[in-house]
Amino acid sequence: MKLKLPARTVERLSKYRRLLEGYNDKEDTHIYSHHLAGMLNLTPEQVRRDLMLIGLSGNHRRGYNVRELVQMIGKTIDRKEGQRLALVGLGNLGRAVLGFIMKEGSNMNVVAVFDIDSNKVNTLISGVPCFNLDDAKPIIKRENIGIAILTVPREAAVNTATLLIQSGIKGILNFTSVHLDVPPEIYLKDYDIITSLEEIGFFIKD
C-alpha cells in the first residue's frame, strides 16, 4: 500500500537524500538529526518526525545509518521503474531545465521533448528526441510518461496543460507563472521564479 505523506515531507525527504548521497564518499557512516537539520535550516525535531513517518529511528549514540537512510528514502519516494518525464517548450528556460535534469543523474528520466518549432522537431536535444506537440497523446501513452515539465510561453500555458492532461499526464511542474485550473486528480507544482525573487527582495529590503 502506498504510504501517504504530506507534500512538504516528501520535499524534505528528497533534500535529505541529495545531501546524504555525498556522504557515500566519506568515512562517516552515520549522521545525527541535528547535523542534517543544520544543513537545511530545519529543527532536529522536524527531521526526526519526517524520518519516523517512513519507519526510521536513529541510534542515540551514532544517529542514523546514512546508507540505510538513503535506501529507505528511495524506497519511499521513488518508483522502482523510475519516473518518465516529458519537457514541453524548448526555449531558453526549457533547455536550461532539461540540461539540469540530465546532469543530475536522478530517478527522473526525461524521455521526450515537445515543441511546435519545425527546426527542433525530429532532432535530439541533450540526447532526448523532440516531437511535435500535436503528437503528444500517442507518444505520452506509448512511452508511459506520467509527468510533464511545462516551460512554454505564458499565452500557451492553459491550452498546453489541457492537452497534456487529455493525453494522460498525471503531474505537472509549471514554470510558466500562469494559474492552471487542473482536475483534483492531477498533481500540480508551480515554480514561479519572479515570485520567489520578490519574496527574497521583500525580506532583505531595508
Tell me if 182 sits within 8 A of 161, measured CB to CB: yes
Residue 201 lies in a domain: no
Co-location of 58 and 137 in the same domain: no
Domain range for 27 is 7-76
Residue 202 lies in a domain: no
Alpha helices in 90-166 (DSSP H): 92-104, 136-142, 157-166
Co-location of 181 and 122 in the same domain: yes
Q: Residue 52: name the closest of 34, 24, 33, 67 by CA.
A: 33
Co-location of 101 and 116 in the same domain: yes
Residue 36 lies in a domain: yes
* The three cell numbers locating residue 188: 500540480
* The three cell numbers locating residue 18: 541529495
Residue 109 lies in a domain: yes
Round to whole Å and give the CA distance between 48 and 32. 10
Tell me if 148 sits within 8 A of 88, measured CB to CB: yes
Measured from the Cβ of residue 111, the count of other Cβ atoms closer than 10 Å reads: 18
pTM, to two decimals: 0.82
3-state helix, strand, coil in the chain (%, to 5): 45, 20, 35
76, 104, 133 — which closes off a domain?
76
Number of domains in the chain: 2
Round to whole Å and give the CA distance between 163 and 150. 12
Co-location of 22 and 113 in the same domain: no
Co-location of 49 and 99 in the same domain: no
Round to whole Å and give the CA distance between 126 and 129. 8
- Output the domain CATH number for residue 16: 1.10.10.10
* The three cell numbers locating residue 78: 521513488
Please list the pLDDT of the chain residue by residue as tens digits (206 residues): 567 899 999 999 999 998 898 765 566 789 999 999 999 999 999 999 999 999 988 777 889 999 999 999 999 988 777 799 999 999 999 999 999 998 876 788 999 999 999 999 999 999 999 999 999 999 999 999 999 999 999 999 999 999 999 999 999 999 998 999 999 999 999 998 888 888 899 899 86
Residue 206 lies in a domain: no
76, 104, 124 — which closes off a domain?
76
pLDDT of residue 82: 79
Residue 205 lies in a domain: no
Co-location of 63 and 88 in the same domain: no
